[in-house]
Amino acid sequence: MSLLVKRRQIGANGMGRPRKYPILNGPVNDLIFAAMKRDGISKPNEWADKWGIGRTALRTAMVGRQSQSGTWVRPDVRTLWRLAKALDVPLVYLIEQFYDDLDNTDALWPQVPIIGWVGAGSGREEDIQEKYVPVDMNLALRGNVVAFKVKGNSMCAGPKPICDGDVIIVDCQNKGRVGSRVVARLVDGGFVCKLLKHGPTGNYLVSTNPSSDNSYPVVIPTSSVQEIVGKVIEVRSPDSP
């Protein structure tokens, strides 16, 4: 008899004594047991390690409801994302199983902060009402991802335009390469979104829409750049559905 089955029986016996282990009645335990059998693993902790799921987090998912009123001991959505990959089921399926009593599950999705304006230049900034923007779980798991709101149309041209009012998602762990759209912090403290190019004297930043009225020059040399903040990995337009 496996340790898992023994623990389940101990939890079920009760007899007025505190349970050493809770009853395992999570909503997808059958899928978890089947996946463990598929992977040739008999111990939940070892299976959790294989798929990068926290051991305590997996235990939480397997515990399930713990009161007569039906209160869940719920895993967080990042755990469900990893569990979905391990079970080969859609993430939305697991969300429906564990958060079926919530009216709005959109609030469960990870968000990244909008940390300021980009491409505006001094004197044109204004308060940003939105403080956060929801992102796909794959982006959230990268780690250091932030967002900026775009002011100006200096990059509103070419096959992947970035226009006034857009929100751009930036991966701060990826500084980009020649040809990438990047966000840079300049020596004057302002942030710009430009195309990273290379010339005879080294790298420089350039606008894709030189005809735009912009607070910064069309071409910015590296001597004016304090740091490359990161590569633009997603553009969100206010007109997008």
The domains of the chain, with CATH numbers, are: 3-101 (1.10.260), 113-236 (2.10.109.10)
Residue 38: the pLDDT is 96
Residue 6: the pLDDT is 35
Lowest mean pLDDT among 80-89, 103-112, 117-126: 117-126
CB 177 within 8 Å of CB 196: yes
The answer to whether residue 100 scores a pLDDT higher than 60 is yes
In the structure, what pLDDT confidence band is assigned to residue 126 with cuts at 50, 70 and 90? low
The answer to whether residue 144 scores a pLDDT higher than 60 is yes
- Which pTM does this prediction carry? 0.60
Residue 227: the pLDDT is 94
Tell me the average pLDDT across 216-234.
90
Residue 214: the pLDDT is 66
Residue 71: the pLDDT is 74
Higher-pLDDT residue of 150 and 216 is 150
> In this predicted model, what pLDDT tens digit does every residue of 169-185 receive, in sequence order?
999 989 999 999 999 99
Residue 213: the pLDDT is 65
Higher-pLDDT residue of 22 and 189 is 189
Q: Which of 80-94, 132-146, 203-217 has the highest mean pLDDT?
A: 80-94
Tell me the average pLDDT across 30-45.
95
